[in-house]
Structure 1
Amino acid sequence: MHKKWWVLMAVFLLAGACGRQEETIAVEVTRVERVTAVPTTIVTPAVQDLMLRPTTVTVVVTETPAPPPTPALKELVICQAQAPGSLYLYDSSMLAADSVRHAVYENLYTNIGYAYQPQGLEKLPSLADGDARLQSVEVAAGDWVVDSDGAVVQLAEGVVVRADDGEQVRFDGSLLTMPQLTVDFVLKPMVWSDGTAVTADDSIFSFELNEASLSFWNAELVARTAVYEVTGDLSLRWVGLPGYLDQTYFLNVWPPLPRHQLGQYAPDEIASVPEAVQMPLSSGPFIVSNWDEGNEITLVKNPYYYRADEGLPYLDQVTFRFIPDSDQVLTDLLAGTCDIGTQDALNMGQIPFMREAEAADLLTPHVVPGVVWEHIDFGIDSAGEYGDGNGRFDWFEDVRVRQAMMMCTNRQQMVDEVMFGASDIINAYLPDSHPLLPDDLPRWPYDVAAANALLDEAGFVDRDGDGVREAADGTRFEITLISTTGGELRPAVSSVFVQNMRDCGIVVNEAWLPSGEMFAGGPEGPLFGRQFDLALFAWLTGTTPDCTFWQSEQIPGVKADGFRGWGGLNGTGWHSLAFDAACDAVQAALPGTPAYEIAHQEALWLFAEGLPVMPLFLRLKTSAARPEVRNFRPDSTQPSELWNLYELDVE
C-alpha cells in the first residue's frame, strides 16, 4: 500500500515540475493509517488503547499530455535527365544547371506569361517612371558606338549610325548626336547564406567575372555596355553604348556573386573552385548540402533567406536526382521516389499514359506550349541553279498561292494527332496569347474549298483531269519539302501536310536531310543557299519578338547582287518594303512607348498577310508532379519550370 502512495506522489511532483499546460484529475485513494487514542486519565502504558481505523484521503494528481511529435521534414525530390557540371553562373548555360540555380541564387526577375516581373529587384525600371532615360549624347571619331546594323564599332568616317532623331546617317566627321540609354536598378535587401549582406558591389563583381570569362552568356550585352556602376548600397546604374537601343534594357543587371568569398581568386580560377562550382554561397531559398557527382544534389533551407519571415521557403530539403531514362522517371513518379519530373526527363510521347495516371489520381501532368514554333518556309525567291525561271517554276511569288496553301493545311489535325491536342496553332511569329498580337491579324483557317478557289484564281488549275494542278505552261504543281532526319514529330507533321496538299491538287515529295546539310551556309546549303521549294523546321519566339528574320536585308546571296552575303537568315527570299519599314520602326522603338506597340503590330499584320512562311504550332514543354505537390507552375516563356522553388510545397 505504501508503494502505491509513493508512485502517485512521484507523478504529482513530476507534473508540477513540467512547464506544459496541465490537466488536473482528482483520484480518490484509500490507505490504512495507524492512529493513537489519547486517554483522558493517566493509565499504565501497558494497557494503552491502540486502535486501527480506516482513513479516506483525496490525492490530486496532474497528468502531462505526451509532447507532440516532431514535424516531419518537408522534402521534395526532383528528377531530371541531366546533371549540371557546375553551378557557376559563367561556366554553363544548360537548363539542368539553371534549374538548380533557382534554388541557390535569388531570381532578380522572372519571365512569366510573355512578360517580365521583378523578384530580387525592387522594380523593373521604365521610361515612364524615370528610372530609365533615353538621352542625346555627342559622339566623335574614335568613340565606341553601335552602328545601324547593331555592331559595336569605333566611329569613323563612312560608318552608318542611327542619330538621336531616329534617322540613319553616314558619319562624316562633323558633330553628331546619338541616343544613349541610362537605367537605374535597386536590389532587394538579400543576405548571403553566411550571414553577409548582399551589396550592389556583388553585382559589379559578377559583371567583372562575366566580362573576363570566355562564356557566351550575356556577351553581346557586355560588349554594348559603356558603364556599369554602384550608385548606393543596393543601387546600380547601367549605361549603354551610344546607338544601342536595347528593347530589354530593364533586364540589364547582373545577378550578385559574393566578392567577399570569391574575390580572392583570379577570374580564370573561379570556374574550378568548389565554392563557386558545387557549394556556392546562396542568396536564394536553399543551400547545397551535398553534391554526389552525376547522381544527386541535396539542398537544405537557407536560414538567412531574406524572405524567411514570410515562412519561405516552404520546404526543408530539396533533392535533385539525375535519371536519363524517361520511362524510369515516370516509374519513379508513380512509385513516389520522385515528386517532380522535369521537361528534360519526360517527353511528349508519354502524355497519353500520364493522362491515364491523372485520371487515377496518381500523377498531375503539366504540359504547356513552349517558345519553339514549327513552320514551313516557302522558297519565294530562289538562287543559283534553283533560281526562278532557271530550272524551277516560280510557284510562290504570288501571295495568293501561299495563302491558299495555308488554308489547305489542317493545322488542328497536326496538333490533335501529333501533339495530343495539347499545343496551340499560331498565326504569325508570335502565339495568339502574346499581348502584342493585333486583334485584326489576318488569319487563314482550314478551308479546302476556299483554298482551291484561290488557287484557281491564281491560274493554277488541273488541265488534264489527273488531280494535279498545272501552271499555264503545263508544268505540274509538284514540289519538294525538305526537313531534318531524326525524331518522329516532323515525319508525322509532313504526312498530314502531304495529304492536305493532295486535297488541293498539289503533289509534295519529301526529302530528309542531316541537320548539318540542311542548315549549312550558302551557297551550298539548301535553306540558306535559297535552293528549296518548302522547308519544315523551327525557330524560337518569345516575349520580345524578332522581325528581322524576314527583312530584305537578311536575304542571303552574293553581296555584289545586292544581298547580305551568305550569312543572311531570310532563306525565303521574301521582299516587302512595307514590312522592312515596319521592322525598322520596331528596332528604333523602346517598350513603354506608343511607337513600340504600333510598329510591332504593323510588322505582325504584314507578316500574316504576306506569309513568307506557314506558321504551324508551338512545341510542348512536358513535365509532371505527384498530386501532393503544390505551387508547381511551369510557364511557356520561363525556361525552367523550377523558377519558383521558394514556394513549392508538399502536403
Structure 2
Amino acid sequence: MPVSNRPLHAIFAIFILLSLTLSACQPGQGGTSAPPPAPAATQTPSPAYTPTPLPPRTLNVCLGAAPNTLYPLGGPNAAARSVLEAVYDGPFDALGYDYKPVILEKMPNLEDGSVQLASVSVTNGNEVADADGTLTILKAGTRVRPAGCRSDECAVVFDGINPLAMDAMTVMFKLKSGLLWSDGTPVTAEDSAYAFTLAKNEETPGSKFIFDRTQSYEAVDDQTLQWWGKPGFIDPTYFVNFWTPLPKHVWGQLSASELQKSELSSRAPMGYGPYVVKEWNDDSLRLTKNPYYFRAAEGLPKFDELIFRIVPNAEAAMANLINGRCDLIDSTVNLDAQTSLLKEMDRTGQARAYFGQTPTLEWLALGISPASYDDGVQAKDRPDFFADPRLRQAIAYCLDRQAIVSNVLYGLVDVPDSFAASASPLHAASLQAYPFDPEKGKQLLNNMGWRDHDNNPATPRHALGVDRVVNGTELNLTYIATSAAQRRQVADILSQSLIGCGIGVNVVHLSQLEFYAEGPAGPLFGRNFDLAEFAMHTPSVLPACERFTSSEVPSAANHWVGTNVSGYKNPEYDAACSSARQSLPSEASHAENYRLAQAIFVQDLPAIPLFFRIETAAARFDFCNFALDPTAASDLYNIEAFDYGDACLP
C-alpha cells in the first residue's frame, strides 16, 4: 500500500519505535557508566528538533470512463460530472427530494419575499406562456391563465383588445460571502450572469427550455442576482434557476464556441470548489487541495491530493480496491455483476458496499395507439388490442415484476406503482396496485371475451365478443427491447409470466440503433409496437407526469419527437399534470394535482413501471461520509467531506 494511504496511527507507531530504538543505543542509558568527558572550552548548542512531516494524504477514486470534457457547459459525461464535483461545489445539492444551498445563503422562497409573483399587463404581440405552458405570441383567441390562476378552470381566452394581467415570477439569489476562485479572485454575481449568457448561446449544447422562458437574469450587486420569468410561466422549481458561476476574468476573452475546445476550460477549468485540476493523463487525473476553498477553515477537504483513476472494467476496479489503488469506486463503473461479491465483502468487513435507487425508471409501454391509427383504425391495421383498459390491467396482474426485483436486482428496490418514486413527498398513497396475481389477470381477460378456447394456457387466447376486435383473433403480442443482458433477463421473466395467463408473446431483441431509430421508421418513436421495454430518466425532484401527456405523443406533426410512445391521450390526465406543473410547491393544488395525475395514470396504464434502476458504489472498509441519493446530480456531491482511517471507525 502506498505510504500516503498508511493510517496515521501506523506512522506514529513506527516513529515511536524508531525513537525508542535510537534512545536505547545512546551512551549513559543503563549498563556500566563511562567516565564523564572532559569539559570543552566552547559548547555548540544542538539544533532544535524538527519533526518529520507526514506525507500528503491522497484520495483515489476509480471511474468507469474517461471524462469527455471538463467544461461545465460542454455536455460532460457521467465521469466528467464526477470530476467536476471536486472543482465546483454546488451551487445547491438535490438530496432526499429537496434542495440544499451550498454557495447560496439560502434557497429562495415565497415566505420571505425572495420570490414574488408580479402582476404584469400584457397585450397583442407580447410573448407569454399560454394555459398549457407553451410559449406563444399573445393574440386574439390565445387561451391563458390570468394573474392568480393555477388551473384550467380559471383560464380565459384573450379577446385581442383589452390588456390582460398575468403573473410573472421574480426570484432573488444571494451568494455567500467569501467565495474565491482558485487564483484568489472573488467569485461575484457577475460570474453567474456570465455563465447564463454562455449557456444561452446557440453554440453551447443543451436544452434552451428555461432560457426561452426567462425575461432576464442579471447581477443586482456583487452577491445578488435576479431571475425574471416571462408572463404566464409559473415554474415550481424556480429555486434552481441559478447558473453556476464561471470565471469571467479568465475566460471572458473567449467565445462560447472557443470555450468548447479550449484546454483552459475543457481540461483544467478554474473553479471555486475543494480541489484544483493539476494533471490529466491517459489513465488518471490529479487534483490538489484548493487553498482558497470557502470551507477550508472547517478542515475541508480532508485530502491534500485527489487522484481519479480510469479503469477499463469492473474487474479492474475491484482489483484496485483490493490492492489499495482505489479508495472509492463510483457508480460510473458498472458493478452490477459484482453485487453478490460486494455484499459478502461488506458483510465480512473487507469493504463497504453502497446500493441506491436511481431516478431512471424501466418501463413496459403498451402500444395503445400505433401511428397507423392516426388516420383512423383500418381493417389492415393491427387489432385494437389495448382500447379497453382492462386488458392493460390484466397484463399488469400477469407480469411477475417481483421476480425481476428478487432475481435480477437482488431485492435492492421495490416494485413501483406509478411514475413517482415511493420516497417522493408527491407520491400518491393508496393507489390502485397490481401485484403479481395471474388469477385476477385471467378473470379480467375472461370478462372481456378473451377465451382460453382449448383449455391450454400455453397457447394464446382467442377473441370472442371482444370490443373492437374480430372474433377468433389470437391474443399474440410482440415484445421489443434492446439486446442488453439485463433486458434479456427481464424479457424472459415477463414473457413467461404473460404466457402463463394465455397471452402469446414474441420477444424481439434489437440493436440500440434499430430500437431508438427516429420515427416513422423506428419501432419505438414510430409507435409501431405492442409491448416495448425501455428506460426514462427523471431529471428533477418532481414526478415526470408530462411524459404521458397528449402533447408528448410522437407523430408527423411534431417530427416524431416525444416520450409518450404509447399514444395515450386523456384530457383529464393532461389537465391534472398541467395544473401540477404550473403551480408552486407551497400551493395545495401542487401536490393535489400530482397525486390526481397518478391516480388517473394507474387506472389507464398506458405503460407499466417495472423497476427503478439501481446504482452501486464500493469503498475501502474504513471509508466514511459517502452516501448514494436518488436525487443527487452525482455520487460525489459531498467529496469535500470524504474521509478514511481512524476518524471513520467506531
Report the TM-score when normalising by structure 2: 0.85
Structure 1 residue 356 corresponds to structure 2 residue 354: no
Q: Which SS does the other structure have where 2:578 is aligned? A: helix
Structure 1 residue 548 corresponds to structure 2 residue 546: yes
Cα distance between partner residues in 1 of 2:285 and 2:52: 29
Cα distance between partner residues in 1 of 2:363 and 2:394: 16
Q: Which residue of 1 aligns with 2:100?
A: 117
Cα distance between partner residues in 2 of 1:552 and 1:269: 40
Cα distance between partner residues in 2 of 1:566 and 1:148: 24
Amino acid at match of 1:551: T
Cα distance between partner residues in 2 of 1:537 and 1:237: 40
Cα distance between partner residues in 1 of 2:170 and 2:602: 35
Which of 239, 254, 265 in structure 2 is aligned with 1:265? 254
Structure 1 residue 169 corresponds to structure 2 residue 149: no
Moved more, 149-158 or 276-285: 149-158
Q: Which residue of 2 aligns with 1:58?
A: none
Cα distance between partner residues in 2 of 1:391 and 1:277: 52
Structure 1 residue 180 corresponds to structure 2 residue 180: no
Structure 1 residue 238 corresponds to structure 2 residue 235: no
How do 1:378-417 and structure 2 match up within 5 A? Answer: 378-384=366-372, 387=377, 390-417=380-407
Which of 626, 644, 648 in structure 2 is aligned with 1:650? 644
| Larger Rg computed on CA atoms | 1
Structure 1 residue 195 corresponds to structure 2 residue 184: yes
Structure 1 residue 453 corresponds to structure 2 residue 447: no
Residues 608, 332 of structure 1: CA spacing in aligned structure 2 closer, same or farther, 3 A cutoff?
A: same
Preserved CA contact (<8 Å) 2:233 2:582: no
Preserved CA contact (<8 Å) 1:160 1:171: no
- The Cα of 1:173 is off from its aligned counterpart by 4.6
Amino acid at match of 1:555: V
- The Cα of 1:444 is off from its aligned counterpart by 1.2
- The Cα of 1:572 is off from its aligned counterpart by 1.8
Q: Which residue of 2 aligns with 1:327?
A: 315
Deviation sequence 1:148-184 (CA, Å, 0-9, x none):
4544444445554443395153462531222211000
Residues 628, 388 of structure 1: CA spacing in aligned structure 2 closer, same or farther, 3 A cutoff?
A: farther
- The Cα of 1:503 is off from its aligned counterpart by 1.9
Cα distance between partner residues in 2 of 1:216 and 1:545: 25
Q: Which residue of 1 aligns with 2:274?
A: 285
Q: Which residue of 1 aligns with 2:57?
A: 74
Q: Which SS does the other structure have where 2:386 is aligned? A: coil
- The Cα of 1:14 is off from its aligned counterpart by 8.0
Residues 213, 289 of structure 1: CA spacing in aligned structure 2 closer, same or farther, 3 A cutoff?
A: farther
Residues 546, 627 of structure 1: CA spacing in aligned structure 2 closer, same or farther, 3 A cutoff?
A: same
Q: Which SS does the other structure have where 2:425 is aligned? A: coil
Q: Which residue of 1 aligns with 2:593?
A: 599
Q: Which SS does the other structure have where 1:351 is aligned? A: helix
Cα distance between partner residues in 1 of 2:109 and 2:176: 17
Cα distance between partner residues in 2 of 1:194 and 1:289: 13
Q: Which residue of 2 aligns with 1:97?
A: 80
Preserved CA contact (<8 Å) 1:93 1:217: no
Q: Runs of 5+ in structure 1 lacking a partner?
A: 21-67
- The Cα of 1:497 is off from its aligned counterpart by 0.8
Preserved CA contact (<8 Å) 1:483 1:537: no
Q: Which SS does the other structure have where 1:536 is aligned? A: strand
- The Cα of 1:85 is off from its aligned counterpart by 3.6
Cα distance between partner residues in 1 of 2:336 and 2:379: 43
Structure 1 residue 214 corresponds to structure 2 residue 208: no
Cα distance between partner residues in 2 of 1:176 and 1:496: 57
Structure 1 residue 247 corresponds to structure 2 residue 245: no
Preserved CA contact (<8 Å) 2:124 2:160: no
Q: Which residue of 2 aligns with 1:497?
A: 494
Cα distance between partner residues in 2 of 1:135 and 1:520: 45
How do 1:553-564 and structure 2 match up within 5 A? Answer: 553-557=551-555
Deviation sequence 1:71-107 (CA, Å, 0-9, x none):
3322111111222243222223312211111111121
Preserved CA contact (<8 Å) 1:103 1:284: yes
Cα distance between partner residues in 1 of 2:500 and 2:44: 91
Q: Which residue of 2 aligns with 1:488?
A: 485
Which of 404, 415, 440 in structure 2 is aligned with 1:425? 415
Aligned residues: 596
- The Cα of 1:265 is off from its aligned counterpart by 3.4
Deviation sequence 1:260-296 (CA, Å, 0-9, x none):
222243444333444323333331111122222x321
Residues 532, 76 of structure 1: CA spacing in aligned structure 2 closer, same or farther, 3 A cutoff?
A: same
Residues 7, 194 of structure 1: CA spacing in aligned structure 2 closer, same or farther, 3 A cutoff?
A: farther
Structure 1 residue 226 corresponds to structure 2 residue 205: no
Deviation sequence 1:88-147 (CA, Å, 0-9, x none):
222233122111111111211011122221111111111233211122211233333334
Cα distance between partner residues in 2 of 1:384 and 1:290: 56
Structure 1 residue 475 corresponds to structure 2 residue 464: no
How do 1:7-86 and structure 2 match up within 5 A? Answer: 69-86=52-69
Preserved CA contact (<8 Å) 2:93 2:633: no
- The Cα of 1:449 is off from its aligned counterpart by 2.2
Structure 1 residue 638 corresponds to structure 2 residue 621: no
Cα distance between partner residues in 2 of 1:569 and 1:122: 37
Moved more, 403-412 or 536-545: 536-545
Moved more, 303-312 or 527-536: 527-536
Amino acid at match of 1:639: A
- The Cα of 1:495 is off from its aligned counterpart by 0.7
Q: Which residue of 2 aligns with 1:534?
A: 531
Cα distance between partner residues in 1 of 2:251 and 2:381: 64
Q: Which residue of 1 aligns with 2:292?
A: 304
Q: Which SS does the other structure have where 1:396 is aligned? A: helix
Q: Which SS does the other structure have where 1:256 is aligned? A: coil
Preserved CA contact (<8 Å) 1:179 1:242: yes
Preserved CA contact (<8 Å) 2:133 2:582: no
Structure 1 residue 143 corresponds to structure 2 residue 140: no
Residues 381, 274 of structure 1: CA spacing in aligned structure 2 closer, same or farther, 3 A cutoff?
A: closer
Root-mean-square deviation (Å): 2.8
Moved more, 105-114 or 88-97: 88-97
Q: Which SS does the other structure have where 1:271 is aligned? A: helix
Residues 7, 588 of structure 1: CA spacing in aligned structure 2 closer, same or farther, 3 A cutoff?
A: farther
Q: Which SS does the other structure have where 1:332 is aligned? A: helix
Residues 154, 394 of structure 1: CA spacing in aligned structure 2 closer, same or farther, 3 A cutoff?
A: closer
Cα distance between partner residues in 2 of 1:9 and 1:144: 98
Cα distance between partner residues in 2 of 1:485 and 1:17: 73
Preserved CA contact (<8 Å) 1:480 1:511: no
Amino acid at match of 1:191: L
The percent identity for this pair of structures is 34
Preserved CA contact (<8 Å) 1:186 1:235: yes
Q: Which SS does the other structure have where 1:400 is aligned? A: helix
Deviation sequence 1:295-348 (CA, Å, 0-9, x none):
211111111111111111111111011122222112111111111112222331
- The Cα of 1:425 is off from its aligned counterpart by 1.3
Report the TM-score when normalising by structure 1: 0.85
Which of 414, 428, 431 in structure 2 is aligned with 1:438? 428
Q: Which residue of 2 aligns with 1:256?
A: 245
Preserved CA contact (<8 Å) 2:126 2:138: yes
Q: Which SS does the other structure have where 2:493 is aligned? A: helix
